[in-house]
Amino acid sequence: MDFPERFLWGAAGSAHQTEGNNVSSDLWALENSPGSPFSERSGDACDSYHRWPEDLDLVRDLGLNAYRFSVEWARVEPVEGHFSLAALGHYRRIVEGCLARGLTPVVTLHHFTSPLWFQQDGGWLGSGAADRFRAYTRAVVPILDGVEWVCTLNEPNLLAMLSSRISGGSGGGVAGELPAPEQAATDALTAAHRAAREELAGKKSGWTIANQNFQGPAELRDAWAWPREDQFLAAAVDDDFIGVQAYTRVIVGEDGALPVAGDARRTLTGWEFYPPAVGEAVRHTAACAPGVPILVTENGIATADDAERIEYTTGALAGLHEAMTEGADVRGYLHWSLLDNYEWGSYRPTFGLVSVDRDGFRRTAKPSARWLGEVARANRLD
Ligand code: BGC
């Protein structure tokens, strides 16, 4: 199975999950509050704030050609209106680090976490949220010189579903089971996305959607999927690309999302082991937003058994290739995640191609990392 020329093969991470000590963010406050719903705090994470050159070296040495990371709003604007030149300089160095290594940077502006001040003033439902996100985006644009791909908001559909609870964090469970978002949250996120895209004129910008592969009787499925997913795809029909993020599937019945079947094979997050997810998500995205290029910005598996990661990803790439053969315009595949990083409440579900020792942050590439690197170098899956 050959992939197109200039196909992006990469790995992904996000600031809060990898950098450590994101102290001005809403999630840091929640993780460290007495009533924290999480079993572990992010703490130092993988210390990528200091070790990012090592991370980039790994990506390059494995044979991958792209790296997705996020800029942290809480670091760039720790207090409303105060933009930290030092934080912007940090992210500029990562962009330059990618370019110097021949890696295509895929930059996300918001990956679940927000500055605490933003959250305390109403978050996405607060007044002026879109203008605040626009101002932050405007401050980041100058450091994006040489960056082609920019994701505005990561999984706005999940953010919308969570926005009446906490701002950010999947916190376990299958996202597709969550109650439908308030329309006001969806509208606010859509407005923020559009404002950011205006600031990003000249770049390829889009948002990345948590695709749940809703299945079941068409009418029930469509009614369940529209507020949780499909309206976010419909809002992206004029975007430069759509980011597809898919891990599993959710079956919808008369009473909504059904729990994962008792006898189903599961991953460490409790999700059904379902390699066809990404191919099906790509098909669904292409049907909802015909002609819009697709970038797989996340796909992977939480497992302690690395052979299972290779098994899952082989199936995922075969399904992706099939969807592309049928006509889907897919520009790249970014595996989630590069590192065993903070999984929104715990370090236990390990999604990484590379393990990180929790005491000294030492990185060790797993066999799956080398395997994916070989697929990338060959631009072909055997
Ligand atoms: C998120 C990642 C997360 C991954 C696995 C996606 O929802 O963008 O931050 O770690 O799924 O749960």
Indicate the pLDDT class of residue 344, thresholds 50, 70 and 90.
very high
Q: Is 14 in the pocket of ligand 1 (CB under 6 A)?
A: yes
What is the chain's mean pLDDT, rounded?
96
Q: Is 210 in the pocket of ligand 1 (CB under 6 A)?
A: yes
User: What distance in Å separates the CA atoms of residue 189 and residue 202, rounded to the nearest whole number?
Assistant: 22
For the CA of 336, the closest atom of ligand 1 is 4
User: What distance in Å separates the CA atoms of residue 175 and residue 213, rounded to the nearest whole number?
Assistant: 11
**CATH code for the structural domain at 8-375:** 3.20.20.80
Q: Please give the distance, rounded to the nearest whole angstrom, from the Cα atom of residue 14 to the centre of ligand 1.
A: 9
Q: Whose CA is closest to atom 10 on ligand 1?
A: 343
For the CA of 344, the closest atom of ligand 1 is 10
User: What distance in Å separates the CA atoms of residue 112 and residue 59, rounded to the nearest whole number?
Assistant: 24
Among 16, 27, 170, 342, the mutation site with the greatest number of ligand 1 atoms within 8 A of its Cβ is 170
User: What distance in Å separates the CA atoms of residue 367 and residue 307, rounded to the nearest whole number?
Assistant: 8
Indicate the pLDDT class of residue 171, thresholds 50, 70 and 90.
very low
**pLDDT tens-digit readout, 146-165:** 999 999 999 999 999 987 55
Q: Which two tokens stand for residue 22?
A: 């994101």
Buried b (16+ CB within 10 A) or exposed e, 270-308: ebbbbbbbbbbbbbbbbebbeebbbbbbbbbbbbeebeb
User: CA angle, corner 160, sides to 260 and 262, nearest 5?
Assistant: 5
Q: Is the pLDDT of residue 357 over 70?
A: yes
Q: Please give the distance, rounded to the nearest whole angstrom, from the Cα atom of residue 284 to the centre of ligand 1.
A: 20
Q: Is the pLDDT of residue 78 over 50?
A: yes
CA atoms within 13 A on the CB side of 210: 22
Report whether 69 contacts 95 (CB < 8 A): no
**pLDDT tens-digit readout, 200-259:** 999 999 999 999 999 999 999 999 999 999 999 999 999 999 999 999 999 999 999 999
Q: Is 155 in the pocket of ligand 1 (CB under 6 A)?
A: yes
Q: Is 154 in the pocket of ligand 1 (CB under 6 A)?
A: yes
Q: Please give the distance, rounded to the nearest whole angstrom, from the Cα atom of residue 199 to the centre of ligand 1.
A: 26
C-beta neighbour count of 251 within 10 angstroms: 17
- Tell me how far the alpha carbon of residue 352 is from its chain's centroid: 14
Tell me, what DSSP letter sits at residue 288?
A: H
CA dihedral 254, 259, 264, 265 (to 10 degrees): 140
User: What distance in Å separates the CA atoms of residue 4 and residue 108, rounded to the nearest whole number?
Assistant: 24
Instruction: Give the pLDDT mean for 53-64.
Output: 98
| Helix ranges restricted to H, the chain | 15-18, 26-31, 48-62, 73-76, 85-100, 116-120, 129-140, 156-162, 183-199, 218-225, 231-234, 277-288, 306-325, 367-378
Indicate the pLDDT class of residue 172, thresholds 50, 70 and 90.
very low
Instruction: Give the pLDDT mean for 306-322.
Output: 98
Q: Is the pLDDT of residue 166 over 50?
A: no
Instruction: Please give, one letter per residue, the 3-state secondary structure of 97-113.
Output: HHHHCCCEEEEEEECCC
- Helix 85-100 to helix 48-62 angle (10° resolution) is 10
For the CA of 210, the closest atom of ligand 1 is 7
Q: Is 343 in the pocket of ligand 1 (CB under 6 A)?
A: yes
